[in-house]
Amino acid sequence: MLTKNALDHVVVGVPDLVSARSRLTALGFQVQDDAHHPFGTGNCNVFFENGTYFEPLAITDRDAELAALKTTNPFVRRYHAYRFRHGYGPIMAAFTTDNAEAMNARFRSEGISTGEILSFTRNQSMPDGSETIIGVHLAVSASEQAPDVTLFCCEHLSRDTLWREERLVHPNSAKGVARLIAVESNPSDFQYLFQTVTGDRDLRTTSVGIEMDLPNALVSVVSPAAYEVMTGIDLPPRGRGPRIEAVEMNFADLPALKSHLSGQSIAFDDKGDELIIEPVEDFSLTIIAREAV
């Protein structure tokens, strides 16, 4: 029997961590220190109290990245392929698991596994100045019909170290990602891919797409027309296959967020009960901001 996985994080490719940090700080998020992977990428994460987070991802060691590209490392290879086709933007979505090996076996049985699980560790600075080791096991899926999205399951080895209470407080009152939104002209063609990774066998099919109700967030794959209705953004024509475009986020105080964004001269579309913050190159993810209820 499948167990529903929660949404873990959204990986957004960025030009560099300095500019991404500047953009996220201007948006009112608390951004964590830069961290570096052993295969040439680095991040500056933003953690939320509902268990989700943003992972802005940049190349921080070109030689290490090139070396990793000569291996079977699916994380780097999928990231590199997306950058080649589209530049920067939302590349991947991760979902929680407490057994990456079991998830990878499921992927293998469905023909979407990228190979062996990817495991790695890194140093993590603690508030008292000490350092500890944290790590993950990743089960990464891939579909030839979906070259522009990578869905994977993440088994955190030290989750409590990352989601410390002091990391979850944001000047803009952000509470977390409430919905992940991907766009595809025929969403139902990809329901089995999303079902396999999320573990949601109760997926809903509607007139505008498909939707999964996970423990901490919704995941929606919608048509371009439906996305334009939702956001007011008319996406340019492109080929088949889903791409992550936006997240809906809950905020404790929407008027305070509006005031903060105005003070930072950040453009947004005020729709009354929600704000649409469009992407920029330094963090190319549309944010639909709503007040938590």
Confidence (pLDDT) at 2: 65
Instruction: Note the pLDDT tens digit of each residue in 100-124.
Output: 999 999 999 999 999 999 998 877 7
Task: Tell me what pLDDT residue 159 has.
Answer: 85
Q: Clarify whether residues 188 and 81 are in a common domain.
A: no
Q: What is the pLDDT of residue 122?
A: 76
- Does 148 lie in the same domain as 129? yes
Q: Residue 131: what pLDDT?
A: 79
Give the pLDDT of residue 171: 96
CB environment 245-272: b (16+ within 10 A), e (fewer):
bbbbbbbeebeebbebbeeeebebeeee
Is 116 a domain residue? yes
Q: Is the pLDDT of residue 250 over 60?
A: yes
Which residue shows structure tokens 């967030």?
A: 217
Does position 81 have pLDDT exceeding 90, yes or no? yes
Nearest to 122 by CA among 162, 63, 167: 162
- Which CATH number fits the domain that encloses residue 37? 3.10.180.10
Q: Model pTM?
A: 0.95
Question: How high is the mean pLDDT of the chain?
Answer: 94
Q: Is there a domain that residue 2 lies in? A: no
| Last residue within a domain, chosen from 150, 167, 184 | 167
Choose between 293 and 81: higher pLDDT. 81
Q: Could you tell me the residue range of the domain that residue 125 belongs to? A: 7-167
Q: Is 18 helix (H, G, I), strand (E, B) or coil?
A: helix
Count structural domains, the chain.
2
Last residue of a domain, one of 167, 194, 213: 167
Contact 131, 125 (CB under 8 A): yes
Distances (CA, A) of 176 to 1, 89, 170, 173: 28, 19, 10, 9
Give Rg (Cα) of the chain: 18
Q: Which residues are 135's β-sheet partners?
A: 121
